[in-house]
Chain A
Amino acid sequence: MIPMSRIAFIGQRDAILGFKALGITVMPATDRQGALEALANAREQDYEIVFITEPVAREIQAELDELTQAPRPVVTILPDHRGSSGIGMARLKSRVEKAIGVDILFKEEGK
């Protein structure tokens, strides 16, 4: 039996409301308090994937870093309607550095 699960999206209401039509649970949050509540909620209800918009993610960075140790949910940071600020890439980069010791990911682009 493959376990079934659901997806939640935490972020600013106006931006993410459209995802509701896809069957994703939308949890509006703008500040730190709301984001933490939404995150706790998502964990309680066993959401497997939690998307979270960048501005909200920045508010609760420390909590998110702790969550990487937990088996679930899988938290993915996505840009919101104001565009990407590069947080997601920065996280990827730091993981590469942690694993390999050097950053080989962006070197080839001359950065």
Chain B
Amino acid sequence: MEIRVNATRMELLKLKNRVRMAQRGHKLLKDKRDELMKIFLGLVRENKEVRERVERLLGQAYRSFLVSRAVMSREALEEALMSSRDELKVSVALKQVMNVVVPQFKVEDADESSVYAYGLATTSAELDDALGAFAAVLPDLIRLAEVERSVEILADEIERTRRRVNALEYVLIPELEVAVKNIAMRLGEMERSNATRLMKIKDIVRGE
């Protein structure tokens, strides 16, 4: 789309200001994008690591839980689990990364021994193992939730920022520059035609 304005000095000045402004915005957004990218890559790497670890540990925990389920009666197992502790609470803090808000979770009251809140007489040692394994992955699970959400949010933000950078770089700034050039040419042309007219008039005046 071409920018159409009157070819006047006023408009030329205005356009030149807009070009400067757009270039400044472009540079800022580019810096933002690069910084977001840096944070994003770190998070992605962590995300991958945590997920691999979680998937491994969780697999082991599930296995020992299934074993414990096999050696205990269903009723005994359910009873043991029902009698367990209060709800686990997480606190949520919001962290700003380059103007993007990401959540941060923290487990309150992470007392591992409270996992075994059942009578020991009717339960098996395998259940203890399984619950211990679950408790051990829990911090990683919560970290995974946090990191994965952060990656999600940052991915959106990077995409948005990249669009804006590209729009400025490949659309707005070139258009503005073309418009500035056009006006400068029109003004030059007007000035030249004015000069020749004056010369002509001078000749006519002198001829009389």
Q: Contact flags (1/0) for B46-70 with A, using CB distance below 8 Å?
A: 0110010011001101110110010
Across-interface contacts of B41 in A (CB, < 8 A) = 104
Q: Which chain B residue has the least Cβ–Cβ distance from A101?
A: B162
**What 1/0 mask marks residues of chain B from 72 to 94 whose CB sits below 8 Å from any chain A CB?**
00000110111011111111110
Q: Enumerate chain A interface residues (CB-CB to B < 8 A).
A: 2-7, 14-15, 17-25, 48-49, 51, 68, 74, 76, 78-81, 83-84, 88-89, 92, 95-96, 98-100, 104-105
In the bound assembly, the distance between CA atoms of A81 and B47 in angstroms comes to: 21
How far in angstroms is the closest Cβ of chain B from A26?
9
A99 to chain B, nearest CB (A): 4
B contact residues around A105 at 8 Å (CB): 44, 48
* Partner-A contacts on B (CB < 8 A): 37, 40-41, 44, 47-48, 51, 54-55, 58-59, 61-63, 65-66, 69, 77-78, 80-82, 84-93, 103, 105, 108, 115-118, 130-131, 134-135, 138, 141-142, 144-146, 148-149, 151-152, 154-156, 158-159
Question: Quick check: A19 and B134 within 8 Å, CB to CB?
Answer: yes
Q: A21-B81, A22-B134, A22-B135 are in contact. Are A95 and B108 (CB under 8 A)?
A: no
* 15 A–B contacts from the bound complex (CB under 8 Å): A4-B89, A6-B87, A14-B66, A18-B130, A18-B131, A21-B81, A22-B134, A23-B87, A49-B142, A76-B141, A95-B44, A95-B155, A98-B155, A99-B155, A105-B44
Is A99 a contact of B59 with CB atoms below 8 Å?
no
* B158 and A23 contacting across the interface, CB-CB below 8 Å: no
- Which residues of the other chain, B, contact A48 by a CB distance below 8 angstroms? 90, 92, 103, 105
Say which residue of B55, B81, B116, B141 sits within 8 Å of A18 (CB atoms). B81
Known: A21-B85, A78-B58. A95 touches B151 (CB 8 A): yes
In the bound complex, residues from chain B placing their C-beta under 8 Å from that of A92 are 44, 47-48, 51, 148, 151
Main secondary structure of the interface of B (DSSP, over half): helix
| Residue of chain B at shortest CB distance from A104 | B41
* Across-interface contacts of A24 in B (CB, < 8 A): 87-88
Query: Contacts A22-B134, A95-B151: A5 and B81 contacting too (C-beta < 8 A)?
Result: no
Q: B59, A84: Cβ atoms under 8 Å?
A: yes
Give complex CA distance A2, B107 in Å.
12
In the complex, the answer to whether A5 meets B92 with C-beta atoms within 8 Å is yes
- A49 and B115 contact, Cβ closer than 8 Å, known pairs A18-B65, A81-B63, A95-B151: no
- When distances are taken between beta carbons in the complex, the residues of chain A under 8 Å from B86 are 23
Q: Which 10 A-B residue pairings sit nearest by Cβ, starting from the closest?
A: A23-B88, A81-B62, A99-B155, A99-B158, A76-B145, A95-B155, A18-B65, A74-B149, A21-B84, A84-B55
